[in-house]
A and B are shown apart, each in its own frame.
Chain A
């Protein structure tokens, strides 16, 4: 029974000249629509380079958040991690809720987002407000000249267990 109705459907769209004509029209209209949507996706983007150097590890103090690279979408943070010891990592400045830029409040020791009030600890872990997950970390390494280099083409998310990845921090 199912086979018969399927054959009926095929006959409707390919069985007659009329059917073929309508099918071809529909297919080309759909193709043009998809093509138009694809056209709206630009192929070339003018974005700044994803890698940049931020200075030597000794430039950063333990327990401090470095705001200097905020316009390049990164905070450089150096803390004493209970397991890993003294580490430096680069936090993305994009709030995981709706993409505003939080502010580091030194007095309260937290990142607070002005849009909807999400709060993140210095580690980037969310603890208040609507943000669904921690801030992301960028890849960071010590370049050949001894400077720290942030690479924004790679990101590390805590909820996926990626913060254990040695690329996501630098041990001092």
Chain B
């Protein structure tokens, strides 16, 4: 008996994989049904539906890059402190001192790549008309995921706390100041007042809520850090679950039911 057979016949192996190797048709079906990760897929798909020239694989790559970002992001969190005092130096240390300092690069370029792949995924879905009934709702979920991906990227942009970061975020967040009615330099905000007291001012408007202060500073860094590492990823993970579930339920990757 070879070592391979010994392992495959052991009680431990059999408790994990409760069927023979997927070499015949029956077991290739069973493996898809018994594995929690694989069962995101159906058991069989239309052949034309998985042709690379048709699907481009971009949705799958976006999900894979999300996983890459999660793993590298968690690793980076071990060395990064979101305070004015430490943030920049921690990034410097990650670049110059840490072993495998390439992690920050993986995280940043992975994020850029993810923005591109999610656009291309949307592009493909549009061009094959895959948003058409009965899959309208899932297209909407996808649009929200696109927005959240951009927000993830945007909040992450601030964390190195360098000149590139602070000014990109200053410019970006100042747009919130111009929100109609809710931003203190937005149209109509000056009309919202009780007597002489203005309701919307620089300490109460939409931008203040986003930054946690009146200027991009330590409070903002902390706020964006929490959004970037916890709040938005959780929302994205939840919506990805909905998105995948609906892909299955609305007809699968190969076309409508």
Contacts and interface: CB of A to CB of B under 8 A. Distances in A.
A162 B170 CA distance: 27
A42 B171 CA distance: 22
Interface of B: 167, 170-171, 174-175, 177, 203-204, 208-209, 212-214, 218-219
Given A40-B209, A41-B204, A41-B208, A98 B214 contact: no
A115 B213 contact: no
Contacts of B167: 100, 115
A34 interface: no
Contact of A42 (B170, B175, B219): B219
Given A98-B175, A99-B177, A45 B170 contact: no
A42 B219 CA distance: 9
Contacts of B171: 98-100, 115
A98 B177 CA distance: 9
Interface residues of A, number: 11
B254 to A, nearest CB: 41
A42 B213 contact: yes
Interface in A71-101: 98-100
* CB-based closest 8 A-B pairs: A99-B174, A98-B174, A98-B171, A115-B171, A99-B170, A42-B212, A40-B209, A45-B213
Nearest to A133: B185
Nearest to B218: A46
A132 to B, nearest CB: 9
Contacts of A46: 218
Given A37-B209, A40-B209, A100-B167, A45 B214 contact: yes
Chain A contact residues, majority secondary structure = loop
Contacts of A98: 170-171, 174-175
Contacts of B219: 42, 45
Contacts of A45: 203, 213-214, 219
A144 interface: no
* Most chain B CB atoms below 10 A, which of A37, A41, A98, A100: A98
Nearest to B203: A45
A54 to B, nearest CB: 20
A41 B177 CA distance: 15
B230 to A, nearest CB: 14
A45 B208 CA distance: 11
Nearest to B207: A99
A165 interface: no
Contacts of B174: 98-99
A44 to B, nearest CB: 10
Contacts of A100: 167, 170-171
Nearest to A96: B185
A171 to B, nearest CB: 29
A106 interface: no
Nearest to B212: A42
Nearest to B210: A40
Contacts of A145: none
A64 to B, nearest CB: 27
B214 A41 contact: no
A3 interface: no
Nearest to B223: A40
Interface string A103-136: 0000000000001000000000000000000000
